[in-house]
Amino acid sequence: MAELRTVDRSAAIDEVLAVLDADGGVIIGDLLTPSARQAIVDELAASLDGTSPGSKSGMELWERFHGASTKRFCGLAARSRAFVDHALLNPMLLALADRLLLPNCADYWLNTGQVMAVGPGEQAQYLHRDENNWPEAVAANREITVSCMFALGDFTIDNGATVVVPGSQNRPPGLVRGDDPSPEQVAYATMPAGSGMVYTGKVVHGAGANTTEYWRYGMHVSFVVGWLRPEEASPLVIDRDLASLLPERARTLLGWSSYQSVGGGRTWLVDFEDASRLFT
């Protein structure tokens, strides 16, 4: 079995990036402090209780991908200020996103922030690459998305820790949907609560099977280059009044500002002006 390496949250960015470049994923210990993790858990508890397992898409492929016994919900910035302060604006995660994405864009924004609670008896998710959400934008030497799976509870092999295929980020670009690696090729993101597993859009991965009687609580946060449309329509959930209460960087990440291409034009405007002017 392969292994994912763990670094401390105080590690230098270059050290973390070196591991990420070699393996495609890296575990960062204590990425959330105990108090921050608990605040997020407490503020999202009602949403978790009110969410039913399974996909609402009515599409067989998505229902299999989402899992019949997995609870998922988004709009976390509208549900938890602790999510904004400690996950969306996590200094280590933003520093890594800066290094990985800014060479390919003028800025990036939230792709999705979602709770993924894997229930007892859930089957393993089919392995995939996140960058395949945007097949037209995929290029061998360009990162367009970077993600972090935060462990809101302990992640173990038995309860569905994320499965990663280290080195798969170096394969040629292409659709991966149901990769079948050998047991020696896969690693599991086993980590204590508060840790985070950061990975690139090119690495092959998926949620593991939960063979226990307990839920596995995770929170996925991902960013995408600003010239692509994200999975989650954040401004439709985080309205102007709520956005006005958040730090400027949080508003930008949530889509409440415009994008100006390097050497190109401006997009996502309001009356041909930057959307950030709505808050001045």
Q: Is residue 103 part of a domain?
A: yes
Q: Is residue 262 part of a domain?
A: no
Please report, for the domain that includes residue 185, its CATH number. Answer: 2.60.120.620
The 10s digit of each residue's pLDDT in 76-118 is 999 999 999 999 999 999 999 999 999 999 999 999 999 999 9
Q: Is residue 182 part of a domain?
A: yes
Strand segments (E) across 154-203: 163-165, 187-188, 196-200
Q: What is the pLDDT of residue 59?
A: 83
Element housing 71 (H / E)? strand 70-73
Domain total of the chain: 1
Element housing 36 (H / E)? helix 34-49
Q: Is residue 259 part of a domain?
A: no
Residues of the chain with pLDDT under 70: none
Q: Is residue 75 part of a domain?
A: yes
Range of the domain at 214: 6-234
Q: What is the pLDDT of residue 63?
A: 83
The answer to whether 77 touches 115, Cβ cutoff 8 Å, is no
Q: Residue 63: phi, psi to the nearest 5? A: -65, -40
Q: In whole angstroms, what is the distance from residue 80 CA to residue 278 CA?
A: 23
